[in-house]
Amino acid sequence: MNSKGNILIVATKNKGKVREFEHAFAPLGLTVKSMYDYPHLPDVVEDGATFAENAFKKSKAVGDALGIPVLADDSGLCVDALDGRPGVYSARFAGEDATDGENNLKLLSELERLKQGEDTDQPLLSTARFVCTLSLYDPVSKQELTAEGAVEGWITSEPSGAGGFGYDPLFYLSEHEKTMAELTLEEKQQISHRGTALRLLTAKLEKKLAAEGGLSQE
Ligand SMILES: O=P(O)(O)OP(=O)(O)OP(=O)(O)OC[C@H]1O[C@@H](n2cnc3c(O)ncnc32)[C@H](O)[C@@H]1O
Ligand SMILES: [Mg+2]
């Protein structure tokens, strides 16, 4: 993948994402490095209007700084009853530097406010989807590969599960009768927005490498 041997740099500071990328790339013999391994690099301002814009901002900033290909992930939760919010603002729904717990509480309070006056004990508050856009940027060729994945579910007022990260305990999958946080890493990878985007990106990369003889190799 790059001149530093079997290393893949992912432009993220999200430890939950890092765990999922490590799990996905270990079978390919790739060791994942995150922004925690490059603490001197400045944070990227995620002010794009779309997941794709933000993913590209992150992969390009870090790729240009390090001079080798870098993968970035911009993702979030789009809730139908909230007209698609929090979307690109998912990480800071409850404010800059909000914790996952604070974001989850904010989501439940917004949805429960909408349901006020309704005489129902139904725990499923709204349909929603997780979306993930991946951007792999090569600063030498200046080429970008992208892939997007999504998964449909419901926001439940009854959080459950200790796996995953972010909004996973509130994201209910009716087919599995479980929240995303109740799945194993393996199961999440098979159905998640990130898992789907990763499989698409890998397929695109393989096709490109076969056609062109590789991303930049030194
Ligand atoms: O930008 P980086 O450093 O990668 O980390 P981040 O946490 O800020 O990541 P994003 O900007 O892409 O914001 C995505 C937010 O959406 C949520 N999210 C994304 N994928 C998720 C998943 O698989 N499960 C639960 N929540 C997720 C979670 O709250 C993330 O913080
Ligand atoms: Mg972010």
131-144 pLDDT per residue, tens:
999 999 999 999 99
Atom of ligand 1 nearest to the CA of 164: 24
Is the ipTM of this structure higher than 0.90?
A: yes
Annotation marks residue 74 as catalytic = yes
2 in a domain, yes or no?
no
Atom of ligand 1 nearest to the CA of 168: 25
217 in a domain, yes or no?
no
1 in a domain, yes or no?
no
User: 10 exposed, middle or buried (CB, 10 Å; 0-12, 13-18, 19+)?
Assistant: buried
* pLDDT band, very low/low/confident/very high, at 5 (cuts 50, 70, 90): low
Domain that holds residue 71: 7-212
110 in a domain, yes or no?
yes
Whether the CB of 192 sits within 6 Å of ligand 1:
yes
75 in a domain, yes or no?
yes
Q: Exactly one of 74, 80, 97, 121 is catalytic; which is it?
A: 74
Q: Ligand 2 centroid vs 33 CA: distance in angstroms? A: 16
Whether the CB of 179 sits within 6 Å of ligand 1:
no
pLDDT score recorded for residue 214: 56
Q: Ligand 2 centroid vs 117 CA: distance in angstroms? A: 36
117 in a domain, yes or no?
yes
Q: In Å, how far are 26, 32, 133, 152, 185 from 23, measured between CA atoms?
A: 6, 9, 18, 22, 8
Provide the annotated binding site for substrate: 12-17, 75, 165-168, 188, 193-194
Look up the CATH number of the domain holding residue 109: 3.90.950.10
73-101 pLDDT per residue, tens:
999 999 999 999 999 999 999 999 999 99
Task: Provide the domain count of the chain.
Answer: 1
Sheet of strand 143-156, all strands in order from the earlier edge strand to the far edge: 31-33, 7-10, 70-79, 124-138, 143-156, 171-173, 178-179
pTM: 0.94
13 in a domain, yes or no?
yes
